[in-house]
């Protein structure tokens, strides 16, 4: 028997324009899947997708290091070991960037068995994102009574622990159903992403965790099975203004706001596939370190 939570996804698909947007995104991901470069070089392309995704996610966090070196190049240097993780630990922007890179990199190790235990996935992603930014007792767990979150203040006060627990239970149920193949993956990724950002279960790092989880759900759920699409770039278009606006609309709780967020996510996945195609083109041409 389908639970009310999972059944509600069918209602979301009936919101005006959502089903069409999902179909367009699915087609874009299908075209990416059959790119010539992905016949033999998926690991290389997927690694570059995580580099570009981490750079875009860091930009959405406002963590763009000063200087002439592009964020993607910094991320690439971190991942390949050309820069030490503690290279600039005294710089708070650097620490956030490094946490985003760790969290995005950690998605590589999330598969179907892990998604069946979503609470553990969220804990591990949060530990990767915020392990160097918070006291250890606050890492990898939801906020307790008396603990606040100062992120996303434009959404209003962060919900208390009881509401956080209720909304996390919804996220857990949705994400755990992904490996079964019985749920619309894009909608699960979108709702889980929005719920984590708007409920703000963690003291810090909610946006980073939400975007990392979305990346993992899209891959494990089979919408982007190669992991080469770059959903973070899809959200970062227009410097993230549409992203923040759509999440603010979702937070209102009305059907129009939810619809706006879902349409944004469908368009973001289409843009993610386009960026993935650029990654695959670069792999094929042997110019990964060139300009986008």
List pLDDT tens digits, range 216-247.
Answer: 999 999 999 999 999 999 999 887 789 999 99
Of 223, 27, 228, 8, nearest to 108 by C-alpha is 228
Does residue 119 belong to any structural domain of this protein? yes
- Tokens (6 digits) for 105: 């990199």
In the DSSP assignment, the letter for residue 38 is: G
pLDDT at site 69: 58
pLDDT (mean) for 259-279: 98
Does residue 139 belong to any structural domain of this protein? no
Does residue 264 belong to any structural domain of this protein? yes
Q: Is the pLDDT of residue 67 over 90?
A: no
Enumerate the H helices of the chain as residue ranges: 4-13, 18-33, 42-60, 71-80, 92-106, 112-115, 118-130, 161-176, 185-199, 206-220, 231-236, 241-251, 255-285
Q: Is the pLDDT of residue 183 over 80?
A: yes
pLDDT grade for 290, boundaries at 50, 70 and 90: very low
What percent of the chain is modeled with pLDDT above 70? 97
pTM, whole model, 2 decimals? 0.95
Question: Could you tell me the residue range of the domain that residue 48 belongs to?
Answer: 4-132+151-285
State the total domains in the chain.
1
End-to-end CA distance of the chain: 47
Q: Is the pLDDT of residue 292 over 50?
A: no
Does residue 138 belong to any structural domain of this protein? no
Does residue 142 belong to any structural domain of this protein? no
In contact, 283 and 48? CB cutoff 8 Å: yes
In total, the chain counts a number of residues equal to 292
Q: How many CA atoms lie within 13 A of 16 on its CB side?
A: 4
Q: What mean pLDDT, rounded, does the chain reach? A: 93
Q: What is the CATH number for 17?
A: 1.10.3290.10
> Tokens 């973001």 belong to which residue?
268
Cα distances (Å, whole numbers) of residue 85 to 79, 146, 213: 9, 32, 22
Does residue 140 belong to any structural domain of this protein? no
Does residue 36 belong to any structural domain of this protein? yes
Does residue 290 belong to any structural domain of this protein? no
């Amino acid at each position: 028997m389908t639970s009310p939570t999972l059944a509600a996804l069918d209602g979301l698909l009936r919101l005006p324009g959502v089903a069409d947007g999902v179909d367009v995104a699915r087609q874009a991901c299908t075209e990416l899947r059959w790119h010539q470069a992905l016949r033999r070089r998926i690991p290389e392309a997927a690694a570059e997708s995580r580099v570009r995704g981490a750079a875009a996610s860091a930009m959405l966090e406002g963590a763009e290091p000063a200087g002439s070196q592009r964020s993607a190049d910094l991320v690439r240097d971190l991942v390949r070991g050309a820069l030490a993780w503690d290279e600039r630990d005294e710089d708070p922007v650097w620490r956030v960037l490094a946490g985003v890179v760790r969290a995005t990199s950690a998605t590589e190790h999330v598969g179907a068995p892990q998604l069946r235990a979503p609470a553990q996935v969220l804990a591990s992603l949060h530990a990767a994102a915020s392990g160097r930014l918070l006291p250890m007792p606050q890492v990898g767990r939801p906020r307790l009574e008396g603990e606040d979150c100062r992120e996303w203040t434009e959404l209003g006060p962060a919900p208390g622990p009881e509401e956080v627990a209720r909304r996390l239970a919804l996220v857990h149920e949705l994400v755990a159903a992904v490996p079964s193949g019985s749920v619309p993956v894009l909608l699960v990724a979108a709702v889980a992403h929005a719920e984590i950002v708007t409920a703000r279960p963690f003291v810090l790092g909610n946006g980073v965790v939400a975007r990392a989880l979305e990346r993992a759900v899209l891959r494990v759920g089979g919408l982007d099975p190669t992991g080469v699409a770059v959903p973070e770039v899809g959200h970062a278009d227009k410097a993230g203004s549409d992203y923040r606006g759509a999440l603010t609309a979702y937070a209102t709780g009305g059907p129009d706001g939810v619809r706006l967020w879902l349409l944004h996510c469908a368009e973001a996945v289409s843009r993610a596939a386009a960026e993935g195609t650029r990654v695959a083109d670069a792999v094929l041409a042997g110019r990964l370190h060139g300009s986008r």
